[in-house]
Amino acid sequence: MSLSRSSRKQNLQKNQGSPDIILAVTLALLIIVGLIVISSASAVLSQNETGNPNSYFFKQLWSFGIGVILFIVGYKMDYRYWKKIAPLLLLVSIIGLVLVYVPGIGVLRNGARRWIDLGIQFQPSELAKLAFVLYLAVWFENKGNEVKKFMTSTFPFLVILAFVGGLVVFEPDLGTAVVLSLIGGAIYFVAGAKWTHVVGMISAFVLFVFYLIKSAPYRMQRFMVFLNPEAHSTGQGYQINQALLAIGSGGILGLGFGKSRQKFNYLPESATDSIYAIVAEETGLIGAGLVIILFILFAIRGLQIARSSSDIFARLVATGITVWIAGQAFINIMAILSLMPLTGVPLPFISYGGSSIIMLMLASGILLNISRYIQKGDSNANNRFGGRNWWSYLTGLGRN
Residue 42's beta-bridge partner residues?
none
- Is the pLDDT at 383 greater than 50? The verdict is no
How far apart CA 345 and CA 273 sit, in angstroms, is 6
Average pLDDT, the chain: 87
Report the pLDDT value the prediction gives residue 232, as an integer from 0 to 100: 63
Q: Determine the structural domain holding residue 138 and report its residue range.
A: 32-373
Three-class DSSP category at 82? helix
For residue 100, what pLDDT is reported?
93
357 burial (CB, 10 Å; 0-12 / 13-18 / 19+) is buried
Cα–Cα separations (whole angstroms), residue 156 to 161, 188, 195, 265, 314: 9, 12, 17, 47, 22
Mark out the alpha helices in the chain (DSSP H runs): 2-15, 21-41, 43-50, 55-76, 82-99, 124-143, 155-169, 174-190, 195-215, 217-227, 238-250, 275-308, 312-336, 354-371, 390-395
* Residue 390 included in any domain: no
Residue 205 lies in a domain: yes
How do residues 276-287 score in pLDDT, each as one tens digit? 999 999 999 999
Strand partners, 117: 121
Alpha carbons 255 and 10: distance in angstroms, whole number: 55
Domain membership of residue 207 (yes or no) is yes
Distance (Å, rounded) from C-alpha 138 to C-alpha 85?
10
Mean pLDDT across the stretch 85-111?
A: 91
Answer with the residue of higher pLDDT: 300 or 103: 300
User: For the chain, how many structural domains are there in total?
Assistant: 1
Tell me if 6 is assigned to some domain.
no
Nearest to 88, CA basis, from 139, 122, 156, 135: 135
Residue 285 lies in a domain: yes
Q: How confident is the model at residue 219 (pLDDT cuts 50, 70, 90)?
A: confident
Q: Is residue 256 part of a domain?
A: yes
pLDDT of residue 141: 94
Q: What is the pLDDT of residue 351?
A: 95
Q: Are 86 and 127 in contact (CB under 8 A)?
A: no
Q: What is the pLDDT of residues 48-69, one digit of tens each?
A: 988 899 999 999 999 999 999 9
pLDDT score for 231: 61
393 in any annotated domain: no
Beta carbons of 23 and 371 less than 8 angstroms apart: yes
pLDDT at residue 82, as a whole number: 95
CA–CA dist 72, 70 (Å, integer) = 5
- Helix 21-41 / helix 43-50 crossing angle, nearest 10 deg: 50
- 377 Cβ partners below 8 Å, 6+ apart? 400
pLDDT at res. 375: 64
Mapped onto helix, strand or coil, the DSSP state of residue 37 is helix
